[in-house]
Copies of this chain bind each other. A is one copy, B any other.
Amino acid sequence: MKRVSIQPQDFDIAAELAALEALGGGGVASFTGVVRGEGGLIALELEHYPAMTQAQVDRIVEDALGRWPLLGVSVIHRFGRLEPGARIVFVGTASRHRTAALESCAFLIDWLKSHAPFWKKEHFGDGATAWVEARAEDDAKAKGWGG
């Protein structure tokens, strides 16, 4: 099972996890990213490069399938305007080996956080806005996976 969705709407985590559990591997790992409402943030606006995003995420999911013995991978990434508490991204992986499920989940979220063609703009309660700058730390983490 391989599922990649780049979408504006929220998603049903229970349904995603149930589909991964149903593959019979015995182990399902997941990571969910949620908008933090700090420093007066009222919304995060996610812009992406549609022609590129789906193909790039497909490719990195294939990398993960080549590297770990996975029965299933599900990646959902939202775009558009998201308020604090809203889910942004979900990665779920299923495997017979819990280490494979957990490591591939970490690998995919590190990649999504550092290399997926998304840009985030912060909107604050006082009307100010700011584009989030890339963090060198995220780059270093994704490079730690080699490849």
Residue ranges of A at the interface with B (Cβ–Cβ < 8 Å): 12-14, 17, 21-22, 24-37, 84-85, 87, 96, 98-99, 101-102, 105-106, 109-110, 113, 141
| Contact partners of A30 in chain B: CB under 8 A | 17, 29-32
In the complex where A98-B109, A105-B102, A109-B98 touch, is A26 in contact with B21 (Cβ < 8 A)? no
- How many identical chains are in the complex? 2
| Contact partners of A105 in chain B: CB under 8 A | 29, 102
Beyond known contacts A26-B36, A27-B34, A29-B30: 5 more, CB 8 A cutoff: A13-B13, A13-B17, A24-B34, A24-B84, A29-B105
Beta-carbon contact of B21 and A31 below 8 Å: no
| Contact partners of A12 in chain B: CB under 8 A | 14
In the assembled complex, 21 residue pairs joining A and B whose CB atoms fall closer than 8 Å, in A order, are A17-B30, A17-B32, A21-B34, A21-B87, A24-B36, A24-B85, A25-B34, A26-B35, A26-B36, A27-B33, A28-B32, A28-B34, A29-B31, A29-B105, A30-B30, A30-B31, A31-B101, A31-B102, A98-B110, A102-B106, A102-B109
